[in-house]
Every structure is written in structure tokens, then in C-alpha cells.
Structure 1
Amino acid sequence: MGSKCCRDDSIQIKDEIQTAQYPDATLPLGPKQKESLSQQGSKNSQVQEILVPIDKKQNEYELGSEIHVDKEQKQVATVVQEQQQKIEEIVQSQKMTTEQIKKEVQSQNQEDNCAKSMGKKIKLGVETFVQSKVGSIGTHYNFGKVLGQGAFGKVWKVTHKTTGLVRAIKQIKKNSLIKEEESRLFSEMNILKNLDHPHIVKLFELFQDENNYYLVTEYLSGGELFDRIKKMSSFSESIAADYIRQILLATVHCHEKKIVHRDLKPENIIFISEDPKSQLKVIDFGTSRKFDNQKAMSKRLGTPYYIAPEVLGHSYTEKCDIWSCGVILYILLCGYPPFVGKTENQILERVKIGKFTFDPEDWDSISKEAKEFITKLLRMDPNKRLSAKQALEDPWLAKYAPSTQVNRKVLDNIRQFQAQTVLKQALMSYMITQMSTQKEIQELQKEFQRLDINNDGFLSKDEFLKGYLSIQNDLKLAEEEVEKILEKIDINQSGLIDFSEFCMAAMNQEKLLSVSRVEQAFKIFDQNGDGFISKKELEIVMGDLGDDVWSQILSDCDNNGDGQISYEEFVKMLQNKKL
């Protein structure tokens, strides 16, 4: 019932290797217990049978953020932590003739030229609104039930007072953290705030008061990956392909941003909701870090069943994440890990050797392509192992690839997007990143992924162009359209369209700028509730603006020249299509 993204594993102190614990340090893996999940029918999940002594931990939760402590001076703990093995509809297209598009392009030329000469731009990325704030968090959130608790603090289900959106908050006691743990907390926040992807947990805010830190993330209520599988009466390769594709999409995006996760495992794969068609997200970036292609990493971090052999050798690259994906897929298809043992040391020794088999009893019904794919993910030599991008192009995944038909209505929404003023860009970006519901975003993410041909989590000019050419054949006109789109919606000026930028433009504008949402946004920015937004109040939400940007904002919407923005000016600026 509670959000599994809030399982409080920060309560567990992690040494160099996070491991699976069970009372007698044995892993029951008799032949009769290795029934394939794809053959289980209405029986209980094999994952539940294999790692059965774990029920006492099923009420623990975590955010997509954790605190980890490395104690390199001490011998690595041999106590093995329990491994909780819990395993589209396209909207009707709206047609627009080429002639109509040409007329609209011509009619907007003057507006575009005006927009281009606006003056200095402010870059507005997803990280803009993830500010570290000091003060009482109770001013902004109503606290609900406790989802988990331990030595470091508690995890709560909360409701944002102004928007009514449900979120999760991890409360961490300052006096329980040593300096290194505190630096890890801020490092993880900086990683998460810059990740903008439909399959990665979203961080909203970081608060602190005299006694605590508070990390605010989205609330994911769908449970862990293996929890979902246990509820299913059957399990197919197509479902496994869908799940591993989503994990790999998140992994590609991280690797493109030079971020390695280092602890991919089923406990860190969480579904957004209990809906059978719910998408999943990767959480827990507590062991993540920026990597350098020219320098190998050496710190031994991970979880025994999923850790790559080169990590045990203290010299590895981001491809350690690919090994973990291979182990996850192996378990999804047969119900048990490829490397097992009665103790942590036995497991790790078998990982080092890297030999695994496909027992005919369990794998005869699994396709040759699936087994070949797993083998390519679990190659001992990282240089011969697939990259995340290569994995997404594998024939086995291609066999179960979703439809690539582009929704014309979404492209039309993007074409019609208007936000020429700095403040309107900022507010619409805020609404999509901080105020939109998971259901609203989920409706758009499949369209984003249809356009994202290279699966890197960004849309390039060429990818947009191919999308537009799929609905009309005039190359020159399509190129003009794409240039206009990039100018309008690339608000962080990266040269690429990020997921949130896409959603901001692709969502129906009347829906995004509904009366209730506009009113809520104004209340959030109007911190003192006096009916006006000042520069100081805007900076509380957006960070330092600078006098030049504030002057530009005032020139755009301060009609009466009083140096602040009233509710009426706010509404007029947002809801007028032409500014």
C-alpha cells in the first residue's frame, strides 16, 4: 500500500559491499525450487520461494535517495543482508493540410523575430526549481503516515498544501550523520536534480531546519519489480523485454550524462502505480557518481548477486550497470540468480569466475535470442560487453519493440506552443516539473520515446525532423517547423529537447494552464500571501535571478509599473496566447 520508493534503506549502513542477509546465511536453491517464472502459472512466484526468509523486511521503504557509509578501515562485513526478490493507446490524430501549416508559419514569422530579439535569456533546466530551502517544511506539506523509520530518521507520505499532490519525504536527523554521509546526501541530490527522464525517480526539493534534512521526491505506490511479478498469474518474454527496456532506457540516459548507478537491482526498480500497465522507475542514487571515460573507478560498491566481477577487482567503468541488468533479466526469465551460494563469499567467488548456465529444465521454453542477449550482457570482459545503447538495439528487444507511430496531435501541440516571455517560460516549466501529475506525464512519455530514436533521453533536431516528416512530406516546411520548435522550447539552451521541455510543449496548453493550476502556481510563488510576487519571492523558488533578468520580467508583465507582479498581471501573462 505504501510507496516502495520510500523504503528507508538509509537506515541500513552500507559497507563497501551491500549484501543480502538471511538468518542462516543459506540460499535455498534445490532443483525443485528452480521453476521458471514463465511456467509458474497460478503458483507463487519462484523468486518468493528462493529468497523466502525476507518477510520481516517488507515494511521497509526508501526514497530514490539513500545515505551510505564506507568504512574502508574495517573488514568488510560478512553478514549478508536479505535480498527482497520481488519481481497505448495513440490519441486520435488531428489532421492539418500542408497549405494550412504554411499559412501558420508565415503568420508567426513576425512573432518569432520579436521573440528572438527579446534580449538576454535565462536558462531554465529541471534543476532550476530544485533548491535547498531553509525553514519549516510543515508550512508547505501536511504529513501523513510513516512509511519507514530507523536510526537515521523517518520516511513520510505527505501532501503538498497548495497543489494537493502526494509526495514522499525522507526526514534525516542531522546529528545522526557524519561529515562523509552529509556530503553523500548533497552529492546524490545534485545527481538526481539533473536527471530528467521518465524512468528515473524525480527529486522536487531539499529542506533543512535546525535538526533535520528533508528530501522530497515523487511518491511511487506501485511496489518493487518482484512484488509485481508475484501478483501475476503468468509471465512472458514480452513482459520481461518491456521491463528491461525501461531499465536500460534509464541507464542510457545516466551514461549519456556521465553518471553510473552502481547498484541496479530489483529492489531499486519501482512501479509508479498499481495499474497493470504502469511504467517503472529507477531509484536509489546513493552510490551513484559522475565518471570519467579516461579513468576507471575503484571503490567496491554494489550488491553481491548483481555486482560485476570487475568491481570486485577495483577497476571498472559504467558497464558495471550493464552486468547488473543482465542479472536482473536472468532472474526475470527463470526465477533465480545466475550466481548463487550459501554465503556472501561463495556468491562473490562465483561472480568473479563469471560462469553461468541455462538449465534446460528452466530455459527450454525461453527463446534462443533471449539467452544470447543475456550472454552479451554478462560478458566477463567489459570491453566486449554491450553498452546500454547497444543493448537497446539487440534483436531480442527489437522483437518486442513498441509501436513507433507518432501521434499527430502531440506534434500539433508542440507546434502551437507559445511562451515568448522569460516569466511565462519559467512558470510553464515549473508547472510541468513540479505541479503535473504522474498520469499526465505518463500519457506523454511514450510519444517522447517514439521520437527518441537513439534512446538517449533527449530529442535532437534530426529526431524531431523525422517525426514531422512522418506526418507530412514537405522537407523544407518540416525543417522550418523544427527550427521554430527548438527556438521555442529549448529553454535550457542545450541544443536538445529534454523530457520536461517536451512535456511542457506537448501537453494541451488549456490543460496545463487551467484556472486551478494557475491559481495554485501564484500561491506558491506569492510566499507571504499578500497578493503580489516580488523579486525576492521569485528567487526563493528559482534561485538568484539577477537585476537584469528581473527587469526583463517586469517589462514583460508589470503593466502598472509598481515593481511587482499582481495576480491579474500573472493571469494575463500566462493565459494570453500572444504576448
Structure 2
Amino acid sequence: MGHCCSKSSAVAVANNNNSNNNHDPSTSTAAVHHSKHAPSPAAGDARNTPSHSFTASPFPSPLPAGVAPSPARTPGRKFRWPLPPPSPAKPIMAALRRRMEPKKPPIPEENHQAVEEEEEEGGERGLDKSFGYGKNFGAKFELGKEVGRGHFGHTCSAKGKKGELKGQPVAVKIISKAKMTTAIAIEDVRREVKILKALSGHKNLVKFYDAFEDANNVYIVMELCEGGELLDKILSRGGRYTEEDAKVIIVQILSVVAYCHLQGVVHRDLKPENFLFATREDDAPMRVIDFGLSDFIRPDQRLNDIVGSAYYVAPEVLHRSYSVEADMWSIGVITYILLCGSRPFWARTESGIFRSVLRADPNFDGAPWPTVSPEAKDFVKRLLNKDHRKRMTAVQALTHPWLRDERRAVPLDFVIYKLVKSYVRATPFRRAAMKALSKAITEDELYYLRAQFTLLEPKHGYVSLDNFRTALMKYSTDAMKESRVHDIINMMEPLSHKKLDFEEFCVAAISTYHLEALEGWEKIASTAFEYFEREGNRVISVEELAQEMNLGPTSYSLLKDWIRTSDRKLSFLGYTKFLHGVTIRTSNTRHR
């Protein structure tokens, strides 16, 4: 919550909207960190970095001295910023500086004296800092030593004095109420507790026990993870994991992130520092921590506040319009680091970091990438796709050939609901085009779709709206209610009048964008068009095509190139463009 900083990493990107939290996410590290790393002459000591600066990578580069791990090969396009100035670093750092200071209200001309009095009181008059949590923390827990400190609070080990946790070691995140100088800061604390409480239960999510408060602090009691950070493990191994060891890590990360996304929660600060090992055992499970920057997100909603850690922030976050796909980018960065020991996007200045994220391509040419399996490289590339629409979801990543395990259960993927919702509302002509595309999908895609169809528990080979509703309710939590995930069922109402067999389910649940990210997209599109020519293509006018795509007369000059002059049917170009659709910017973005 608030600006991103961690005692073991470079600081993070602050909210350009000055809309997020005002206490430190680093204090939620629910673990005792026993190992400290000596500063490296090459990389410096990131742990001693001020919370408003960015550092060089602590990982050794496999490239020759002086060569950056991610050379700035700028694609032939320009990035249009929604808001000036062009460089993302300036507004981000300005927002970070604003966060470090109490927010001052505007001064009404007619009431200067009242405002001056309020400023003398720290600008906090009228703020309700009562959370309704238990007041008996001291009676239930005995605080131990401090194990982590941030700008707005700290984390201590503790031991239960009575009740179910009697004698059990726990971690306590202590957030000072004096640091909560705005209503936003107070709401951020409330939301963090709400998310931890609602999501608690997944094996790879830090256990939440309770929250308390007194006149001075809020106390968040969580599981004590004594195995240290994933970052510690990476550094202790010299920065690189074998593929098999990396798989063990990534599967756990994807599993818990898939769970969060199904619940309508986006983490927004996934990085090695925020994954802790439960114990010191070599095969200890991991726990994701620090939901201080996390938020609930409704179906089809976009967030706009810039938060996260610099090296792991997704391009669309810097463009101020993003959803759960931003977490998948961060997982792609983590995977890249595990496999090669260096960051895919790196620079010595804050503006350089963001410029690299926006414009540079990750380096897959230098060592050790020539020896990494093609499946692993494809996995990373499909997560580090700058077009968030082409990025794999967490569930799709779990079924990717690099990670696929027939013995491991596949989670329910919420993106299926979004795609089916669009399909049941589509025109017959678009359905015909999608049906042709479904005839050309790969076996890898079919594996994922079969798993999703099975999770819907079809009756006599068919699924209906009731199947979608029942499957979603099976995983329902308070988080799902808060993020209004169930609203998607109302948007799928046309499905109440029909049923889908597996063949039509495949038509409904495929994404053109996801298929476009595959290396074999050209072959898929060509095969699909051949089927479309036989079964679905028909004479269509420019006006009708524009109507199919919800476009106005201004699009006619563009669309006429999609229709063959010989028979007035869609050409191959027109077919692929029609499948792809035209992105229309909407205002469904949360401004905080």
C-alpha cells in the first residue's frame, strides 16, 4: 500500500494519481529474515537504497561488461501517453514525493483561519481512524523482536498468549495511525485487511489470523514464514535456477495468482521479495504476501493508478489502463530472472527503467538462453507480450506445455466467462467467423478448453447458464462479492435460452488475441479462412460490415479494403481484421 518499497529491492513506481496508499508495503513481510547479503561491488546493496530511488540490478549479467541485459531495440512505433509529460518517470516520481507529505486541502477564500487551524492539527481533523477491530491485542499476543521496517510501520514476530494461537509464533504488521494522514490511507489499510481475510485459505497465500487496533496502531496478525524471501534464494544460488527448479516456483506463483484473479483481486506488486518460504526446509511451500497494493476489480473494469515495483511493472500500468493481466507480466519478469539470473528490463535511471519496459525487447540471445528449452522461452515470451490482450492468463500458463502436468488439477479461469459472454451476444456472422477459427486451434489450446469445460460439469454433454453460475458459486468468497464477480452471470443472460456442447463451447471460449500470440498464428488463420470460405463467408456490404463491428460511416474507407471486389465477400485480410475487431476506448476506468 502506498508507494512501493522493500528492504530488499529497488523501489517502486508510485501512483501518478496520488490516489493510493500512505503506509509502507514492505512492513507486511510476514517472516523473519535471518540472512543478509553483503553488498556487491557490481550491483550495490539494494537493501540500503532510499525509498524514493531506483537501483541497478543485483543479479549478475551473463553478458560482457558494459552490455545491458535488455538492449533498447525500439519497435517501429511511438507510444502515445494518455497524459503529459511523455516520460513516465517525472509524474511517477512527483506523485511519490507528494505521497511522502500529508495531503493539504484547498483553501477556501472565505475561511482562511479555519484552514490554518486544521493545518496546525496536521490536516487530520475529521478523519475517522476507528476500524472496528478488536482492542485486546496486548492481552492475546506478546510482541517479539522487530523483523522488518518501512516508512509507515514495521513488522514484528510475536507469540500467542491465549486462545487458538496460544504458544504459536506469528508475524504482526504494525501500522501507525499517526501516519494515516488521509482518508485514502485509512481506506487502504481497511482494504488490505479485507483482502487478506477474504482470500485466506489458499495453500500458497499467507495465512491471516486477525486484526486489532488501539489508539496508536493497527495490528495485522499473520502467519510467520521463517524460510526467507524468494529473492534470498535466487541470490544464494548465484541468480539462476534450473528449469525444473524454476517450474516448482512458477507453478506455486501461478496457482495462487489464478485464485486471486478468479476472486476479482489483482495483486499489483508481484516480485521475488513478496514470496516467502513457509519454513527453512528445501522443499518448503511458498506464500505470497503484501496485499498492501492489491485491489478489487470488477468484470470489464480497468484501473488507472500507477503502482508496483519498477522492474516488474507492466507497460499498460504506465499507460494507466490495466487489469489482472499486469500481474501476468510481473510473473513473466520473475520467470525470466529465475531462468537466466538477470532482469529483462534494466537501466541505471528511473526514466530508463520505464523506457525499457515500454520499448525494449528482452534479450533471449545471450547466455544461457541458447541452452534453455524452446518451451520455456515461449512461456516467458507469452507473458512478456507488451499487448496485454495477448498475454496468457494464470490458468493458461499452468496448462502451457512447459508446465503441463496431467496429475495437477486445472483451476477455473474467469476469462472463459468473459469470452462466452461476448460470444452469446455476437451476431450470426461473427459466430460463423469464430466457428471457422475454432476448427484450426492447436491441441495445446484444446487441452486447456477441455479442462475448463470439465470444470463446468456438463450434463449430458452440454453446459448452460446454470453450469456457469454453479461453477462460480463453488469458489465464491467475500472477495468475489466485493469485486462483484457474479455480475458477469447477468451479462451472460442470453445463454439462459440455449446450451453449448463442447464444440460450440470451443467456439465461444477462444480468443483471437491469445491465438495471435502463437508462433503458428499464420497457419491457424489460413486454415480457419479456408473453412470460413466453405461454410461462413457471404456477400457483405461496407455498411453492413461497419454495423457488425459497431463502427460509423467514418470507417467505410478502411473497411472497403477488407471486401473482395470480385464477389463482395471478406478477403483473408478482412477475415483476420474482422476477428481481431477494432478497439474502442471506453471510460470504464476507475479513477482513484
TM-score, normalising length: structure 2: 0.50
Name the structure 1 match of 2:192: 188
Decide whether aligned partners of structure 1 residues 402 and 208 sit closer, same or farther in structure 2, where only a CA change above 3 A counts: farther
For residues 404 and 283 of structure 1, do their structure 2 counterparts lie closer, same or farther at Cα, with a shift above 3 Å needed?
closer
- Alpha-carbon distance between aligned partners in 2 of 1:376 and 1:73, rounded to the nearest angstrom: 27
Q: Which residue of 2 aligns with 1:226?
A: 231
The structure-2 alpha-carbon separation of the partners of 1:203 and 1:8, relative to structure 1 and needing over 3 Å to count, comes to: farther
**Mapped pair 1:251 → 2:257:** yes
Matches within 5 A, 1:151-230: 151-162=151-162, 163-179=166-182, 180-195=184-199, 196-230=201-235
Letter paired with 2:170: R
Aligned residue type for 2:250: I
Per-residue deviation, 1:288? 0.9
Task: After superposition, give the CA deviation of every residue in 1:454-480 in whole Å (9 maximum; x if it has no partner).
Answer: 699xx97959x9xxxxxxxxxxxxxxx
Alignment of 1:206-355 (within 5 A): 206-232=211-237, 235-355=241-361
Structure 1 residues 350 and 77: alpha-carbon distance in aligned structure 2, compared to 1, 3 A threshold: same
Q: Secondary structure at the match of 2:172?
A: strand
Change (3 A) 1:209 1:278: same
**What does the per-residue CA deviation read over 1:287-340, in whole Å, with 9 as the maximum and x for residues that have no partner?**
111112322111111111111101111111210000000000000000111111
Q: Deviation per CA, 1:49-91: give whole Å up to 9, x if none.
A: x9xxxxxxxxxxxxxxxxxxxx989824599xxxxxxxxxxxx
Aligned positions of 1:54-69 closer than 5 A: none
Shift of 1:149: 3.6
1:139 maps to what in 2?
A: 139
Unaligned runs of 5+ in 1: 1-5, 37-49, 51-70, 80-130, 406-452, 466-489, 499-579
Contact 2:62 2:368 in 1 (8 A): yes
Separation in structure 2 between the aligned mates of residue 186 and residue 358 of structure 1, nearest angstrom? 43
- Aligned AA for 1:75? A
**For 1:371 and 1:15, how far apart are their aligned partners in 2?**
31
Match of 1:542 in 2: none
Change (3 A) 1:391 1:205: same
Distance 1:261-1:496 versus aligned 2 partners, 3 A rule: closer
Q: Distance in 1 between matches of 2:294 and 2:347?
A: 27
CA RMSD between the two structures: 4.1
AA in 2 matched with 1:188: E
**Deviation for aligned residue 1:150:** 5.0
C-alpha separation in 1, matches of 2:57 and 2:191: 38
1:461–1:496 contact (8 Å) kept in structure 2: no
Q: Which residue among 356, 359, 363 is the counterpart of 1:357?
A: 363
- The offset of 1:496, in angstroms, is 5.0
Secondary structure of 2:300's partner? Answer: coil
Per-residue CA deviations over 1:3-24 (Å, capped at 9, x if unaligned) read: xxx9789xx9973279978589
Cα displacement string for residues 511-542 of structure 1 (whole angstroms, at most 9, x for unaligned residues): xxxxxxxxxxxxxxxxxxxxxxxxxxxxxxxx
Q: Is the 8 A contact 2:61 2:341 kept in 1?
A: no
Q: Secondary structure at the match of 2:206?
A: coil
Percent identity (aligned): 34
> SS at the partner of 2:329?
helix
Which aligned pairs between 1:326-475 and structure 2 lie closer than 5 A? 326-398=332-404, 401=405, 403=407
Deviations 1:219-278 (Å, cap 9, x if unpaired)? 111111121233348831011011011001111001100111111111111111110000
CA distance in 1, matches of 2:452, 2:232: 27
**Does the CA contact (< 8 Å) of 2:204 and 2:285 recur in 1?**
yes
Cα offset, 1:176, TM superposition = 2.0
Structure 2 residue matching 1:135: 3-state secondary structure? coil
Q: Secondary structure at the match of 1:147?
A: strand
5 Å-filtered alignment, 1:1-16, equals 15-16=14-15
Amino acid at match of 2:292: G
Checking the alignment, whether the CA contact within 8 Å between 1:160 and 1:166 is kept in structure 2 is yes
Is the 8 Å Cα contact of residues 323 and 378 (structure 1) preserved in structure 2?
yes
SS in structure 2 opposite 1:75?
helix
- CA distance 1:144–1:77, shift in 2 (3 Å): closer
Amino acid at match of 1:27: A
Go from structure 1 to structure 2 and tell me whether the alpha carbon gap of 1:74 and 1:249 turns closer, same or farther (over 3 Å shift). closer
Paired positions, count: 331
State the alpha-carbon separation in 2 of the partners of residues 354 and 281 from structure 1. 31
Q: CA deviation at 1:191?
A: 1.0
- Whole-angstrom distance in 2 between the partners of 1:150 and 1:268: 14
